[in-house]
């Protein structure tokens, strides 16, 4: 309580009465002692009455002087005591007032933490409250950079804001250029300067703060999630208190609590942003996910309806992504998808959106286009241009190709979900790989094909377990004698709902879904078991050809799986009946990986044939690199031999090429005696086709083998 003039409170009256009584008592005691003792002393020392009278007069004046001095001393002493008490009470009042301001500031900021969900808004509000409610002339907040070595101001309020310009605090204690406050902040302690003028300037901010009349500063660390997130700074113009400090322990404790609460608020905002991002963005690519894409398509449709414009949506797929993941692993597949995401983002306009839909599929929203022709131009001139990506420094770069399907508002659909669905239907029309580098636009008749595709996909997943899969076999013969020297195993599917399903319908579905690996392993195992049975029945030199999918071939551990099957059926590496066929088109898509995989199979004693040769435009240098044993001339050339001189010249060239490379030859699709004779004339001795036998179940081909048994046993038939 401060004592001021005119204060008539009971407490003041009691205090004034005690002081007056103390002075009167002291004066009374000293006065009585003076009178009593001085008179006795004079009478004892002086006998002369005149001298005694004179001395008593002097004594009276002396009494007045002494009592005046005494009164002065007593009043001065008590007044000093009252002044000191008053100063202490005033300081206590000021301290309580400052603490109350900080408490009010703390409560207000905590309220902001509960309602504010944006980082910059929270920090701006914190600084404003520190100035308006906390009474600090200048308050600021700085945040640590990602590496945690520097802090820069991001928010401030109050007077003299320009003193923060260019402020950068190096807060790593191990940095030789670290700021003097770095050790305290790293240890979680406030850093305080009670008299800025008494300390040499630590930085330009310190010097400008002194010029602006600031006397003291406190910098408090913001700690959250076991790391220094930033700092809060407070400048004041007040003088030091009686204890020689401006920021006492109680106030620093409250400021530290304030910084800790701010750290909690920032952490909650970071966690909320992370959850929001996880809900709206793909973590692998950083692109918008389907939910956010549909939201932005909806916004684009609203604008397009008002402006009478069009909206284009494209679905895109990386060709061969699944094969790459199977051969090189998930990590390289992730790198590829991240590279594609970055490329797509760099090739669209600022207002467009690139999204990741999962399973290697992307989507692009072209928010404002005039017609579908604009979509086609963007797709084929910007988004679908092949590019090279170096995944392994020691390997050739991978050529990345994409395909796309597109739908356009208002012609194809008018909702975000339907636009995306139509674009996906167009993408998968006929298989995405069939239109690599092109954008296919949606048409209503595609819906039925996609529905059929989806139904077949669903049925295919249980086909093996239901016993719907079977192998048919087509003989491979010597053209001159008709002797059977091998069989090609061909997968057939008789579905419970659709009946017989052609391989060209279900094999692409199996490729896309990944079931081709399971089906391929079953085909290998079944074919090997069958050739063992046939050999045990007398057909000792019979070979068994099995077609391979590239995805199956490049799957990790495929060679080990083949080794297990070979060992299970006890196939002799020195007389290996198993022949594996891979198409020329599949080989040239990834020459390096396919060649390495085929090399591993060759070590098992397995022959490799290049199927459909002539359709993939493989160069001579490719053939020299590939570890193949034979070329299979594609049936499209064989079937034109009798009528097309160009086909005849092509077949002749293939035969000469094979002979030059010391490769065996097999002609596919031989259907007439004329084709057989022409092939023999050109120098091809082995073939297969309807002329000799159609693909048939195992029981039906037994008679074909029986007809050639005698020639096989005579040893005239050789393995091709």
Question: pLDDT tens-digit profile of 370-397?
Answer: 877 888 888 888 998 888 887 777 666 7
Buried b (16+ CB within 10 A) or exposed e, 27-66: eeeeeeebeeebeeeeeeeeeeeeebeebeeebeeeeeee
Question: pLDDT tens-digit profile of 322-343?
Answer: 766 766 677 888 888 898 999 9
Position 710 pLDDT exceeds 60: no
Q: With a threshold of 0.75, does the pTM exceed it?
A: no
pLDDT-derived band at 353 (thresholds 50, 70, 90) equals: very high
Looking at the domain 290-444, which fold is it?
Answer: Alpha-Beta Plaits (3.30.70)
pLDDT of residue 198: 87
* 194-198, 251-255, 438-442, 463-467: range with highest mean pLDDT: 463-467
From 388-392, 500-504, 514-518, the region with the lowest mean pLDDT: 388-392
Question: pLDDT tens-digit profile of 578-628?
Answer: 999 998 777 776 677 788 889 999 999 999 999 888 765 555 666 777 889
Position 243 pLDDT exceeds 60: no
* Residue 712 contacts residue 539 (beta carbons within 8 Å): yes
Residue 206 to residue 194: CA distance in whole angstroms: 13
pLDDT of residue 5: 39
pLDDT of residue 264: 86
pLDDT of residue 463: 92
Position 691 pLDDT exceeds 80: yes
HSE of 228 in the Cβ direction (CA atoms, 13 Å)? 31
CA proximity to 374, closest of 303, 287, 314, 292 = 314
Q: Averaged over 201-219, what is the pLDDT?
A: 91
Residue boundaries of the structural domains of the chain? 10-105, 116-278, 290-444, 459-713
Position 321 pLDDT exceeds 90: no
Position 7 pLDDT exceeds 50: no
* Residue 121 contacts residue 113 (beta carbons within 8 Å): no
Instruction: Report residue 263 CA to chain centroid gap.
Output: 25
* 43-57, 116-130, 314-328, 443-457: range with highest mean pLDDT: 116-130
Antiparallel, parallel or unpaired: β 484-495 and 469-478: antiparallel
Position 470 pLDDT exceeds 50: yes
For residue 60 the two structure tokens come to 């009276």
Eight-class DSSP state of 288: B
Q: Averaged over 19-48, what is the pLDDT?
A: 73
pLDDT of residue 719: 44
pLDDT-derived band at 686 (thresholds 50, 70, 90) equals: very high
Question: pLDDT tens-digit profile of 247-285?
Answer: 878 788 888 888 888 888 888 888 877 777 777 888 889
Please report, rounded to a whole number, the percentage of residues in the chain having pLDDT higher than 70.
86
Position 6 pLDDT exceeds 60: no
Give the Cα-Cα-Cα angle 388, 391, 395 (nearest 5 degrees).
Answer: 90
pLDDT-derived band at 672 (thresholds 50, 70, 90) equals: very high
Q: Averaged over 154-182, what is the pLDDT?
A: 89
Q: Averaged over 464-471, what is the pLDDT?
A: 94
Please report, rounded to a whole number, the percentage of residues in the chain having pLDDT higher than 90.
32
Q: Is 514 helix (H, G, I), strand (E, B) or coil?
A: coil
Position 231 pLDDT exceeds 90: yes
Strand partners, 640: none
pLDDT-derived band at 716 (thresholds 50, 70, 90) equals: very low
Position 678 pLDDT exceeds 90: yes
- Specify the residue for token string 């401030």: 156
pLDDT-derived band at 350 (thresholds 50, 70, 90) equals: confident
Given CATH 3.40.50.970, say whether it is the number of domain 459-713: no
pLDDT of residue 79: 74
Q: Averaged over 89-95, what is the pLDDT?
A: 63
Buried b (16+ CB within 10 A) or exposed e, 618-655: beeebbeebbbbbbbbbbebbbbbeeeeebbebbbebb
Position 151 pLDDT exceeds 70: yes
**175 or 551, which is more confident:** 175
Position 709 pLDDT exceeds 70: no
pLDDT of residue 323: 65
Residue 124 to residue 681: CA distance in whole angstroms: 91
From 356-365, 423-432, 629-638, the region with the lowest mean pLDDT: 423-432
Question: pLDDT tens-digit profile of 546-579?
Answer: 999 887 888 878 899 999 999 999 999 899 999 9
Q: What is the DSSP string of 169-192?
A: EE--TTSTT--TTHHHHHTT--EE
pLDDT of residue 362: 94
pLDDT-derived band at 630 (thresholds 50, 70, 90) equals: very high
pLDDT of residue 25: 78
The domain 116-278 is placed in CATH, from the list 3.40.50.300, 3.30.450.40, 3.40.50.1980, 2.30.29.30, at 3.30.450.40
The pLDDT mean for the chain works out to 83
């Amino acid at each position: 309580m401060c004592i001021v003039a005119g204060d008539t409170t009971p407490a003041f009256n009691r205090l004034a009465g005690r002081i007056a009584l103390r002075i009167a008592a002291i004066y009374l005691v000293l006065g009585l002692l003076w009178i009593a003792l001085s008179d006795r002393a004079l009478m004892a020392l002086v006998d002369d009455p005149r001298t005694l009278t004179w001395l008593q007069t002097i004594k009276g004046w002396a009494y007045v002087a002494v009592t005046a001095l005494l009164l002065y001393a007593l009043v001065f002493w008590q007044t000093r005591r009252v002044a000191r008490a008053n100063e202490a009470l005033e300081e206590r009042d000021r301290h309580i007032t400052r603490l109350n301001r900080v408490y009010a500031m703390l409560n207000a900021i905590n309220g902001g933490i509960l309602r504010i969900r944006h980082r910059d808004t929270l920090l701006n509000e914190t600084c404003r409250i520190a100035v308006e409610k906390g009474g600090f002339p200048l308050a600021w907040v700085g945040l640590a950079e990602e590496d945690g070595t520097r802090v820069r101001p991001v928010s401030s309020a109050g007077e003299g804001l320009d003193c923060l310009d260019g402020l950068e605090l190096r807060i790593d204690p191990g940095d030789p250029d670290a700021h003097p406050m770095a050790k305290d902040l790293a240890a979680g302690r406030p850093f305080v300067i009670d008299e800025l003028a008494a300390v040499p300037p630590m930085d330009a901010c310190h010097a400008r703060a002194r010029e602006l009349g600031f006397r003291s500063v406190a910098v408090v660390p913001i700690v959250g999630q076991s790391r220094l997130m930033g700092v809060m700074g407070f400048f004041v113009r007040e003088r030091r208190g009686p204890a020689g400090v401006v920021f006492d322990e109680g106030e620093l404790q409250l400021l530290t609590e304030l910084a800790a609460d701010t750290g909690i608020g920032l952490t909650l905002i970071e966690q909320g942003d992370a959850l929001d991002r996880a809900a709206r963005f793909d973590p692998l690519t950083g692109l918008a996910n389907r939910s956010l894409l549909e939201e932005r398509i909806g916004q684009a449709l609203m604008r397009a309806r008002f402006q009478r414009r069009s909206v284009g949506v494209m679905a895109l797929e990386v060709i061969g992504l699944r094969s790459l993941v199977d051969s090189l692993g998930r990590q390289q597949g992730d790198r590829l998808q991240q590279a594609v995401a970055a490329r797509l983002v760099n090739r669209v306009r600022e207002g467009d959106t690139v999204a990741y839909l999962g399973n290697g599929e992307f989507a692009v929203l072209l928010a404002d286009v005039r017609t579908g022709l604009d979509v086609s131009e963007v797709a084929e001139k910007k988004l679908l241009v092949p590019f090279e990506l170096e995944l392994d420094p020691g390997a050739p770069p991978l050529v990345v190709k994409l395909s796309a399907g597109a739908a356009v508002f208002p012609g194809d659909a008018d909702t975000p979900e339907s636009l995306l669905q139509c674009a996906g239907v167009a993408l998968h029309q006929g298989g995405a790989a069939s239109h690599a580098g092109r954008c296919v636009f949606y048409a209503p008749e595609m819906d039925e094909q996609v529905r059929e595709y989806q139904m077949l996909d669903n049925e295919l997943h249980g086909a093996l377990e239901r016993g719907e899969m079977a192998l048919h076999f087509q003989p491979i013969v010597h053209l001159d004698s008709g002797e059977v020297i091998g069989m090609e195993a061909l997968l057939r599917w008789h579905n419970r709902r659709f009946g017989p399903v052609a391989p060209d319908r279900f094999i692409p579905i199996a490729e896309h879904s990944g079931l081709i690996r399971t089906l391929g392993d079953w085909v290998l195992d079944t074919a090997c078991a069958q050739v063992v049975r046939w050999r045990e029945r007398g057909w000792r030199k019979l070979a068994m050809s099995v077609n391979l999918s590239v995805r199956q071939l490049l799957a990790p551990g495929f060679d080990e799986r083949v080794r297990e099957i070979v060992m299970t059926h006890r196939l002799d590496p020195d007389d290996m009946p198993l022949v594996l066929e891979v198409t020329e088109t599949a080989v040239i898509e990834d020459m390096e990986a396919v060649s390495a995989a085929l090399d591993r199979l060759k070590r098992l004693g397995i022959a490799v044939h290049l199927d459909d040769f002539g359709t993939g435009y493989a160069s001579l240098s490719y053939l020299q690199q590939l570890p193949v044993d034979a070329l299979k001339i594609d049936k499209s050339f064989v079937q034109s031999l009798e009528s097309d001189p160009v086909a005849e010249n092509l077949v002749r060239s293939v035969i000469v090429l094979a002979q030059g490379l010391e490769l065996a030859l097999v002609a596919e699709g031989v259907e007439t005696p004329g084709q057989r004779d022409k092939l023999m004339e050109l120098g091809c001795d082995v073939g297969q086709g309807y002329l000799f036998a159609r693909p048939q179940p195992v029981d039906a081909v037994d008679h074909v083998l029986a007809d050639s048994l005698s020639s096989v046993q005579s040893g005239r038939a050789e393995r091709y």
